[in-house]
Structure 1
């Protein structure tokens, strides 16, 4: 599917007066077909810091997502929580989430791309694509995925706009504060160690996983105290 074809398919998806899971299923299928290297795709939604798979196209994607939910961390969760595009080029050598990626490699997952959903009401999450082979996703795939993620967020926003609750509003504010804190923490590390934004996020992710502490809590501690728990300078 070329870019024009992807736009045409997305434009044909009806988002009004339909169940959200039906809409997300359609969009997930388009994401799967739009990326040549993709073998499976899914949408992770995060509420109150817990993730679940709202739609998937291909069992490989559901298996990968559930491995991450069981661990409590991984690219599909951290992409949504931190607002980061997270590309795993090779699960056999990826060291940001070593326990998850080792298990993913055993399941036949070679690489993945997780893209954060733009904020829409009380929901945050990520669009995930998975491939059997390593290095399956290009810069063009990232650009396509970001466009699809926007449509996912639109569909969710339409479904939720008339049913916002106080708890959902609190969840949204928490999510926004978490992303802002993570960005501040990245800035601290970039200035301190003269590293890129991607390298700074890697340091936070490693500290989160090694200390078994939520990513947002690691970031908040760094911003408040200047200390990154359990991490060493890594380039």
Structure 2
């Protein structure tokens, strides 16, 4: 386990720009797992539109435990993420709060204790940082929860920042596609204007009618026209 300042410093070095959200969160999860006493596997559950999913994980045990909770619709990671309270399970063999989930967990995984810490952000909660161990009472020491909360606060900000960078990237990609679509449509209009001796408005109307007739996107129709001219023998 790293000293708190060391793994917080390591988290601060995770690159957010020009990377997918999954890649960023995978790095964060791997680093966080090494800073929490007792953690053998760690995951990040995010809740979007009231639907939880594992955004990243370090260790297959964490992913398996998370997915069992999603299947049952409840469990410590979901309840911590929705309720905004840390949830500690000292011993799965004696845990009574989530009977169906715990029974399946004990039957299919080596998990024996867990700690889920909510991810706070701007007065609400966006999910939970989940930690799992094969040992009972792995997170019973006060420093485990303290470390988990320290990491969770940083992870919550990092998740929000990474998500913002990802959305900006998506916007840039969508804008580029829109510009490419406009360019090929303009090229196709030029082809039709030359071939049929019509003006730009009429050429566009020809493209639009073809798009409706063949139930295909306007860009696809335009691309086909441009490609047919390029491929034509000279």
Taking structure 2 as the reference length, what is the TM-score of the superposition?
0.65
Q: Distance between the aligned counterparts of 1:126 and 1:97, measured in 2? A: 17
> Does the C-alpha gap of structure 1 residues 142 and 125 become closer, same or farther in structure 2, counting only changes over 3 Å?
same
Deviation at 1:121, TM superposition (A): 9.4
* Residue of structure 1 in register with 2:36 after alignment: 35
> Does the C-alpha gap of structure 1 residues 122 and 17 become closer, same or farther in structure 2, counting only changes over 3 Å?
farther
Deviation at 1:151, TM superposition (A): 2.0
Deviation at 1:18, TM superposition (A): 2.7
* Residue of structure 1 in register with 2:223 after alignment: none
* Residue of structure 2 in register with 1:215 after alignment: none
Deviations 1:79-127 (A, max 9, x none): 0100010001111111111111122222211000001011259971000
* Residue of structure 1 in register with 2:5 after alignment: 4
Taking structure 1 as the reference length, what is the TM-score of the superposition?
0.65
RMSD: 2.1
Q: Distance between the aligned counterparts of 1:147 and 1:82, measured in 2? A: 18
Deviation at 1:128, TM superposition (A): 0.2
Deviations 1:124-156 (A, max 9, x none): 100000000110012111111112112221122
Q: Which consecutive residues of structure 2, in runs of 5 or more, have no partner in the other structure?
A: 169-234
Superposition pairs of residues 147-226 of structure 1, within 5 angstroms: 147-161=150-164, 163=167
* Residue of structure 1 in register with 2:208 after alignment: none
Q: Which consecutive residues of structure 1, in runs of 5 or more, have no partner in the other structure?
A: 165-235
Q: Distance between the aligned counterparts of 1:131 and 1:28, measured in 2? A: 15
Superposition pairs of residues 71-220 of structure 1, within 5 angstroms: 71-106=72-107, 107-119=109-121, 124-137=126-139, 138-161=141-164, 163=167
Deviations 1:63-83 (A, max 9, x none): 000000000000010001000
